[in-house]
Structure 1
C-alpha cells in the first residue's frame, strides 16, 4: 500500500528547493554555525590528575577538527569521570575477584555492577561526543575539505578516467 493513511508522503528527491538539503549541505551549515562557539580550554580543577590527562588528550585531538566546543565540556567531564569510575571498579575486581564470600555464601562483587554501569555510561557519553568509531566517522564524514572535488578529479584522471 503505497499511500496508506498515516504513512505520509514519500519524499520527492528531485525537489531542489526542499527545506531538507542533502547531508553535505547540512554539514556545511552546521560547521558554520558551530564556529561561533568557544573551543574547550583547560579541564575543570575538580578533576583528578588522571582525569585531567584524559580530558586534555581528547580536547587536543578534537580541537584540531573544531568539533568539540565549550558547551560540550560538562559532557566531556562526565565522560572522563565515568572512565575513572570504571578503572577504580576494575582495581577492586582484580583485588577481590568477581565473586566474594559473605556469611559463607558466594555473592557477586558489587564492583561488577559499578563497572557495568560505568561502561554503559562511557558508551553513551562517548557516542554523544564522537568518541567511538561509528559516531566519529559520521561526524568526520560531514567535515568536507575545501578542495575535495579537485583531489577526486586528480585521482580519477590519474587512473585514466
Structure 2
C-alpha cells in the first residue's frame, strides 16, 4: 500500500549533497543510501532526514575522536600566586567532563531517533514491512487518498 502511494516519488539520490562531499557526513551518506534505496519506501523527499542522520553520525565521530585524544575528563587546577602575582604552585581541585562527551550523547540520541524513522532498526524495519504488505481489504484507502483528502478517512 505504501509502496504504491510513493511510487511516483524520485528515489533517494546516491551521491551526498555537495556540502557533505569529502566529509564524515558524506561518507556516512555513501554507506547508508544503498541500504535505504533497497527499501522502496525511502525516497528523495526524505533527503533532509537522511542529511540529519549523516550529520549526527559526523558529530558523534568528531566527539569520539576528541575523547580519544583528550579523555572523557580533564583535571582542573587552581593557580596559587605570590604577592607579586607570580604563579608559584597549582592545586588540584577536581575533574571536569570533556564537552565532547555531551556532544556524543546528543548525537547518539539523534542517530537512534532518525535511524528508527528511516527503518534502520529491527523494530522500525518490521513496522515498515507491515506497511508494505498488500492487503486484501479494498475498503482501506491508500496513503495517497488520505493525504489528498480523497475518499480516505
Q: TM-score, normalised by structure 2?
A: 0.70
Find the partner of 1:86 among 60, 85, 89.
60
Q: Which is richer in strand? A: 2
TM-fit CA distance, 1:64: 2.5
Q: TM-score, normalised by structure 1?
A: 0.66
Q: How does 1:8-157 map to 2 (within 5 A)?
A: 28=1, 30-41=2-13, 42-49=15-22, 50-103=24-77, 104=92, 105-144=94-133
> Does 1 or 2 have the higher relative contact order (CA < 8 Å, sep 6+)?
2
Query: What secondary structure does 1:102 align onto?
Result: strand
TM-fit CA distance, 1:83: 0.4
Unaligned ranges ≥5, structure 1: 1-27, 146-161
Unaligned ranges ≥5, structure 2: 78-91, 135-153
TM-fit CA distance, 1:138: 1.2
Runs of 4+ in 1 over 6 A off after TM superposition: none
- Say how many residue pairs are matched: 118
Partner Cα distance (2:30, 2:7) in 1:
20
TM-fit CA distance, 1:86: 0.3
Partner Cα distance (1:118, 1:138) in 2:
24
